[in-house]
Amino acid sequence: MQNPTIIAIIAGVVSALLFVPATTGSLLALPLFYLTALPLFLVGLGWGAINAAIAGLVASVVVTLLLGGLGGLGFLVTFAAPAALLTHLALLWRQPEAQAQREWFPPGKIVIWIAVMAGALTALAIPLLGFDAETYRANLQQIMEQSLLKDLENAAPEGFDPDQMKQFIAFLTTALPAISAMIWMLAMIFNLWGAGRIIDRAGRALRPWPDIGAMTYPREMPIGFVASLIGTLLPGILGIIAIGFAGAFVTAYILLGLVVIHVLSRLSPFRLFILFSVYVGLIFFGWIALIIATIGMAEPIFNLRERFSATPPPGTPDAE
């Protein structure tokens, strides 16, 4: 079966069938959410952005049939349109007259596009809970208290303190825009990276695999990050929107910090142990993420990769 349209339709159906169970709140919801965009990226990177758009539209129609119009619109905005746009960006190239090889859209810029999308999608979701900050926070806190406290009332662990849980819920209410942006951003990057690796090894890739070890961000990135941090101090909805963008930009710096650690760890015979420790710490200790993000922020200023190691040329196994 080599017809790209048929492949796109099948991929769209698969993506929709992954998304629908992800909305149930079951134990499989998060893993399925993280795989929802994978079929769309597979089609896009292997058969072009137009086919990614077709797959996204098919998936949106299927979701609409299964969950209703609001669910289909949510899928279209959250997954279908971003996957088509990101695939288009990933396949952009130019060929300067003085060079024999094409210059492909750099991975660092793709990450920043994803970060901006994450912040924008978070901003679009805020009016669903309220058009002013007080209404938004009140509705969100009420939803969380009803879901979390109600579940714990039936199976509360020993030493459970409802007051402490309410304080935690208040923190989640404030941090949710950043958390939501981070989760969506990581899901899209994971799917884009995974689809790229699968398509590349299958021999269907429309662009060569980039040298992620040499990834950099545009010069405007620090300006956007600082602006988002300042924006979190604003009152009302604008401050809540800025929290989402700040969370997305911090995630981008965490990713750059991880790239720096991967490159520098090549100098050590204990590379696997170092990377294992970093990722375990990242999962279980929040302050590790701040250290990694700081490394990412310091990289453009101090050129850590150039200073402490020689980055292998593109195409080598370690360049992943």
**Mean predicted confidence (pLDDT) in 19-36:** 85
| Nearest Cα to Cα of residue 37 among 70, 73, 82 | 82
Please say if the pLDDT value at position 25 is more than 80: no
| Nearest Cα to Cα of residue 214 among 292, 296, 312 | 312
**Residue range 219-236, pLDDT digits in tens:** 999 999 999 999 999 999
- pLDDT tier at 318, thresholds 50, 70, 90: very low
- pLDDT tier at 99, thresholds 50, 70, 90: confident
Query: What is d(CA 211, CA 319) in angstroms, rounded to the nearest whole number?
Result: 6
**Mean predicted confidence (pLDDT) in 29-46:** 94
**Residue range 257-302, pLDDT digits in tens:** 999 999 999 999 999 999 999 999 999 998 999 999 999 999 999 9
Query: What is d(CA 304, CA 311) in angstroms, rounded to the nearest whole number?
Result: 11
Query: What is d(CA 27, CA 29) in angstroms, rounded to the nearest whole number?
Result: 6
- pLDDT at position 317, please? 45
Percent of the chain residues past pLDDT 70, beyond the cut? 91
- pLDDT at position 310, please? 54
Beta bridge partners of 94: 103
**Residue range 113-170, pLDDT digits in tens:** 999 999 999 999 999 998 899 999 999 888 887 777 665 555 555 665 667 777 888 8
**Residue range 55-87, pLDDT digits in tens:** 999 999 999 999 999 999 999 999 999 999 999
Query: What is d(CA 85, CA 113) in angstroms, rounded to the nearest whole number?
Result: 10
- pLDDT at position 187, please? 96
**Residue range 186-209, pLDDT digits in tens:** 999 999 999 999 999 999 999 999
- pLDDT at position 313, please? 44
Task: Give the start-to-end residue ranges of the domains of the chain.
Answer: 1-91, 102-320
